[in-house]
Amino acid sequence: MSGFVSPFLVHSAVQAITPLLLAALAGSLCAQAGVFNIALEGQILVGAFAAVAGSFHFAGAAAGVACGAAAATLFALILACGSTMLRGDAIVIGIGMNLLASGLTAYLLRQMFGVSGTFDDPRIIGLPALRIAALDRAPLAAAVFSGQTALTWLAWGVTALIGVGLFRTAPGLRLRGVGAEAGAAATLGVAVGRYRAATVLGAGALTGLAGAQLALGTISVFSEDMSAGRGWIAVVAVMLGRNNPLLAALACVLFGFADAVGLRLQSLGMASQLTDIAPYLVTLAALLLGRRPRQPA
Amino acid sequence: MRRLRPPAAVLAVTAALGLGALLVAASGADPLTAYGAIVTGALAWDTLPNTLNWAVPLVGMTLAAAVPLRGGMVNLGGDGQLVLGGLVAALVPLALPPAPGAFIIALAMLAAVFAAAAYAALAAWGEVRHGIPMLVLSLLLSYPMIGLASWLVGFPLRDHSSGLPQTVLIAASARLPELGAGIGGGALAMLLVAVLAVVADRRLVAGYALRMRGLNPRFAAYGGVRPGRQALAAMAISGGLAGLVGAILVLGAQFRFTDGALLSPGFTWSGLMAALLAGGEPAGAIAAALFFAVLQTGAFAMQRETAVPRVLAMILQAVVILLLAARHGLDRRQAGG
């Protein structure tokens, strides 16, 4: 067993957590503001594509990350406007956005880079792994903290920031008020629509970072539909955390480890088709164990 | 989800075509040539059977999405149910002893429908009994099924004489016969299902009860509808339809289960969009599905002739849905004052 839980496993778990965490934070923020955001999946995909395109064109990982965040924010504009000014159904908009993201990235992949399936090019510059030399003697600590990307550090920093901002500041209180009781918040002079739209856009930027980590973090490629359900796992994390971003982060840690265990089993010779299922099975189990008591319809 | 008036849908389609034209023009191609290639590619006399064969599974997956949608529920797990149906339909003829072809076909289709219905009902059971939202649960159940099927045909059930992860070919006698002119036998089955769906929606008590649930679940429950049982039934029908589509594709076109072959055309998602376009109303949803089938088969021709990628069809579909969602909201705002 000690051979199974290797520093390598922990390292790949921490890597796997980052995109989930960023997306789950985005989803939690939206849920707190009263917007059910199921477009996370599509936003991650848009972010991943733009990150790869940006890194390729501007020859830099930082430019790629900026492009990923900007593109996903722009994309989130659909939900931001659709669910506030236009009062559309967030679920229908979310489904539409996910499919649009899938189609649009596949279309642009062919038109911009002339390839289909996977875009792999040495000119796509990945995020550098930040090594911490001082930890070389503590393998487990090194596995967690050393060799991670700046985005991983940023993700956990943002988690803390959101925890404080949401529960300890006045704008955070207003944001929660907008979600909990929009009418009351409006009576107190809070601009409900503006709070919601801003939250959805901010969440878009976070999911864009998630996409950037996915596409530039460990490998530097873009493949069609590479988000592969991570946005939906983030939605589950939000549900399990009862919209609390800190609890959702905890759920992401669990899912990230499931992902890493799957990778480890694969290296032990298990078929990838089976190990790829692992995160979904853990997610399903977590849903069943973390369920709320039955509510009347 | 209120039923949409046709003009709103027509408007959304027109606007989407306009936006699509901009996208095509921006990537350096001529939009008119591209759209022309779609129309001639789908509706020319000799390509019509092809378009119809493409429409059969698409209409099936549209109805699979429309049934729960009519009651205000969403089934996102169509991919998993489709794969399960296809896999069962591919395995039953291999497992049965020699028997008349019609018997094997009927048994394989029934088995596929029931297996997929049971799997889909699992998502409803999770919501009814455990309060796990069906929307998310149905999708999350889909991934393990796809992975499991992929592993099964990759290893234990693989036809080792072929280079691909797929099952052994079904005997010629156990394949769905053609109707003639290159139209597959599945078209007949789907026509029957489509008529049944429209009749059930307009004439049967169950259809009325489901519609009422979609309009107002509490009113439906007050009227004596048992919400839990109704959710289970709606999801079972939805999954059964997806399973039927899988069986039709395997028994009528592919003759074996090949990893990924059922999912690559994206029938599930196109079907969901067609169903959304009509708010779950079956006749409108079928019309939307036929329109999407023309768009998609035409897009193959467009890709051949103009080098504009055929995923353009998917973009157009998604834009239609997004425009409708927004338009829908505008209507509601005007109605609400």
Write down the residue that tokens 């796809």 correspond to: B146
Q: Which of B1, B2, B140, B155 to mutate to test the interface with A (most CBs of A within 10 A)?
A: B140
Q: How far is B218 from chain A (nearest CA, A)?
A: 8
- In tens, the pLDDT along A206-231 reads 999 999 999 999 889 999 999 988 99
At B180 the pLDDT is: 80
> Tokens representing B161?
């004489």
> With contacts defined as CB-CB under 8 Å, which chain A residues touch B269?
99, 102
B184: three-class secondary structure by DSSP: strand
Which pLDDT does position B190 carry in this prediction?
95
What DSSP designation does B258 have? B
With cut-offs at 50, 70 and 90, classify the pLDDT of residue A293.
Answer: low
**A41: Cβ–Cβ under 8 A, 6 or more apart, which residues?**
A98, A101, A227, A229, A230, A231, A232
| Nearest residue of chain A to residue B69 (CA atoms) | A92
How far, in whole angstroms, is CA A31 from its chain's centroid?
15
Distance CA B171, CA B94 (A): 8
Distance CA B7, CA B12 (A): 8
Inform me whether the C-beta atom of residue B335 falls under 8 Å from chain A C-beta atoms: no
φ, ψ of residue A231 to 5 degrees: the values are -60, -35
Convert the pLDDT of each residue in B193-227 to its tens digit.
Answer: 999 999 999 999 999 999 999 888 898 888 888 99
Tell me the residue ranges of DSSP E strands in chain A: 118-120, 221-223
Question: Helix or strand or coil: residue B224?
Answer: coil
B311 pLDDT band (50/70/90 cuts)? very high
The residue-averaged pLDDT of B244-261 equals: 95
Hey, of B143, B213, B229, B327, which one would you mutate to test binding to chain A, going by the most A CBs within 10 A of its CB? B143
What pLDDT is stored for residue A50 in this prediction?
97
Q: What is the DSSP letter of B166?
A: B
* Partner residue facing B130 (CB), from A102, A116, A291: A291
- Is the pLDDT at B15 greater than 50, yes or no? yes
Residue A122 has pLDDT above 70, yes or no: yes
Count of Cβ atoms closer than 10 Å to residue B39 Cβ? 14
- According to the model, what pLDDT value does residue A289 have? 87
What is residue A280's three-state secondary structure? helix
- The CATH architecture annotation of domain B6-336 reads Orthogonal Bundle (1.10)
Mean pLDDT of A111-119: 91
Best B311, B328, B332 residue to mutate vs chain A (most A CBs within 10 Å) = B311
Residue among A91, A100, A110 whose CB faces B322 most closely: A100
Q: Residue B328: its pLDDT value, please? A: 62
Q: Is A136 exposed, middle or buried (0-12, 13-18, 19+ CB in 10 A)?
A: exposed
User: Average of pLDDT values for A124-146?
Assistant: 86
Closest Cβ–Cβ partner in A93, A110, A287 for B325: A93
Distance CA A56, CA A50 (A): 10
Q: Can you tell me the mean pLDDT for B10-19?
A: 91
Query: Whole-model pTM?
Result: 0.90
What is the number of residues in chain A? 297
| Predicted local distance difference test score (pLDDT) of residue A297 | 42
- Gap from A217 CA to chain B (nearest CA, Å): 24
Q: Which of A89, A232, A280 sits opposite B1 (nearest CB)?
A: A89
**Does position A68 have pLDDT exceeding 50, yes or no?**
yes
Task: Give the closest residue to B282 by CA, choosing from B5, B68, B63, B6.
Answer: B63
pLDDT at residue A5 greater than cutoff 90: no
Distance from the A45 Cα atom to the nearest Cα atom in chain B, whole angstroms: 14
Do residues B297 and B50 lie in contact, with contact meaning Cβ atoms separated by under 8 Å? yes
pLDDT at A133: 84
Residues 287-326 of B with CB under 8 A from A: 309, 311-312, 314-315, 317-319, 321-322, 324-326
Please compute the mean of the pLDDT values over residues A69-78 and round it to a whole number: 97
Are residues B319 and B21 in contact, defined by beta-carbon separation less than 8 angstroms? no
Bridge partners (DSSP) listed for residue A148: A130
In percent, the amount of chain A with pLDDT more than 70 equals 96
What is d(CA A202, CA A26) in angstroms, rounded to the nearest whole number?
8
Burial class, A58, CB count within 10 angstroms (exposed 0-12 / middle 13-18 / buried 19+):
middle
Query: What domains are there in chain A, each with its CATH number?
Result: 7-289 (1.10.3470)
Average pLDDT of chain A to the nearest whole number: 91
| Residue B286 clears pLDDT 90, i.e. is over it | yes
Q: What does the alpha-carbon distance between residue A61 and residue A228 come to, in Å, rounded to a whole number?
A: 22
Residue A104 CB contacts under 8 Å (≥ 6 apart), including other chains: A46, B315
Largest separation between any pair of C-alpha atoms in chain B: 68
HSE (CB half, 13 Å, CA atoms) of B115? 25
Q: How far is A137 from chain B (nearest CA, A)?
A: 40
Average pLDDT rounded to a whole number, residues B25-48: 91
Look at residue B117 and tell me whether its pLDDT is greater than 50: yes
The secondary structure element, H or E, covering residue A174 is helix A170-180
Say yes or no for a CB contact (<8 Å) between A277 and B144: yes
DSSP label at B254? I
Task: Check residue B335 and give its pLDDT.
Answer: 43
Instruction: Calculate the average pLDDT of chain B.
Output: 91
The pLDDT of B101-117, averaged and rounded, is: 96
Candidates B69, B125, B136, B219: best to mutate against A (most CBs of A within 10 A) is B136
ipTM for the assembly? 0.89
Domain locations in chain B as residue ranges:
6-336
Given B140, B314, B321, which is nearest A284 (Cβ)?
B140
pLDDT tens-place string over residues A8-67: 889 989 999 999 999 999 999 999 999 999 999 999 999 999 999 999 999 999 999 999
